Amino acid sequence: MAAAQEHYPEGSLVERLLAEMDHTARMLDAGIPLEKPKVDYITDIDARREIFLQIKKIQDDGNIPLGLNAVGLAIILVAPIEQLQLELDYINMSTCPFSAFPAASLFATMHADGVLGIKAFIRAGRLCHVNPSPFWERFTLSFSNVGPSARRSVVCPIRGTSDDVCRARIIPNLFAGPDTTFRGYIGTMLHTFWEKDKAQKWDGLYPSGWSPFSLEGRFLISRSLIREIAEAKLALKPLAKMEDGSAIVQLFWLKGSTLKPQDFLFKRHDTASFEDILKRAGLENNEEWGPSLAFRKDGQRLQSGQLFILKANLDVGIKAPDFKHLQILWDLTRVAAICGAVNETNELLGKDETKAYLNYCACGGEVEDEVEGEDEGEDEGENEGEDEDEDEDEDEDEDEDENKNENEDEDEDENKNEDEDEDEDKGEDEGEGEGAE
């Protein structure tokens, strides 16, 4: 059941969907995929252009060296406009020189918390859903501990298949190693640029006594689709919550990016326009979504704009999905796609790398040049020292050779004199012998 390929404001779409809720639910329950009018890839783009221009002006006026990076652009294009505007109003209302502090903090959050946090988000998704360990697979994703009758009731609500379904986490929270710290960076990013309730929801994902094997915060989905979500190629937009807690979601395929989160898009006093930046990020066509990468059970491609219902299945321990978890996943997945978080994700993972990067951010992005200069000076000093040592060694070798030669000459002279003395003594002895005879 296809709809005309028109684009409607996001609020209008949700209102229409709520009015048609019962009919939509019946159709989806019957396995009939619905396709609603698609929204733009970037919603409210004119308002976001204005925010971009304000941020650029703040950077230029404050002469702030840390420019907009790829994750900063993604935040501008995804985060709630009201929250972004509140941050800018706070900076603009502050009197100089005090306005410099919130301005610098804005860019620092993009560069430090945004970059490290979104990389950790992708790594956690891969650990949970792309390359899970055998132990994690057995006790969390699969249905090995579920009875046969309950297992037969399990179907992917999107593909309609039953052979590859898993109990996936809505928010991948298998943070291990350094990422246990990086997890907090995402919280800081949400507290700065998102609504308070979403940030608090993120903070509450890990209550005291929480177990990674808990079935809380999971939903049923095809393994292939959750892998696409983990790689920021697919996103599910939550549209409405039904009376029984089920959620109606709209499927969208995301565009790839050649950027990396820490890539600079412009620096202070650059003349780059908003359109120039979008083009560099591969977002010049705002009505175009990414290519479809999966099929439904009936062989038809899954298309951007199609609607599905995510609901509970208590037979296998799955409750209705948390609507705010779905909203956080929708936002973070789009941020990851726009800024290229899947590209070279393990950069800045090591302790030394992270420390150096945070120092770089703390020093306003200028420490790198100083460090390079210091390194060059140290290298030159080391080279000069090495040259001096080599010269000294050569001089010492020459002195040793001269002394050796002198000693050899002296020894030869002494030996020669001794031989002459022996000859003289011998001659005298012979003369005395002849006289005696």
Distance CA(316)–CA(169), nearest Å, equals 14
Distance CA(142)–CA(218), nearest Å, equals 12
Distance CA(405)–CA(71), nearest Å, equals 73
Q: Read off the pTM.
A: 0.76
Kindly provide the residue ranges of all beta strands, DSSP E only, lying in 73-217, ordered along the sequence: 165-169
Helices (H) and strands (E) in the chain, counts: 16, 6
Asked whether the predicted pLDDT for residue 415 surpasses 60, the reply is no
Mean pLDDT of 383-404: 52
- Given this model, what pLDDT does residue 404 score? 52
- Percent of the chain topping pLDDT 90: 42
> Which residue's entry shows tokens 């979104």?
118
- Given this model, what pLDDT does residue 376 score? 42
Asked whether the predicted pLDDT for residue 71 surpasses 50, the reply is yes
Give the chain's end-to-end CA distance (angstroms, integer).
149
Which DSSP helix (H) or strand (E) runs through 252? strand 247-253
The residue type found at 419 is D
Exposure class string for 317-333: b at 16+ Cβ within 10 A, else e: bbebbbbbbbbbbbbbb
- Given this model, what pLDDT does residue 150 score? 76
Contact 291, 253 (CB under 8 A): yes
Asked whether the predicted pLDDT for residue 419 surpasses 90, the reply is no
Q: How confident is the model at residue 23 (pLDDT cuts 50, 70, 90)?
A: low
Mean pLDDT, rounded, of the chain: 79
Q: How confident is the model at residue 430 (pLDDT cuts 50, 70, 90)?
A: very low
- Given this model, what pLDDT does residue 428 score? 47
Q: How confident is the model at residue 65 (pLDDT cuts 50, 70, 90)?
A: confident
Which is more confidently placed, 417 or 154? Answer: 154
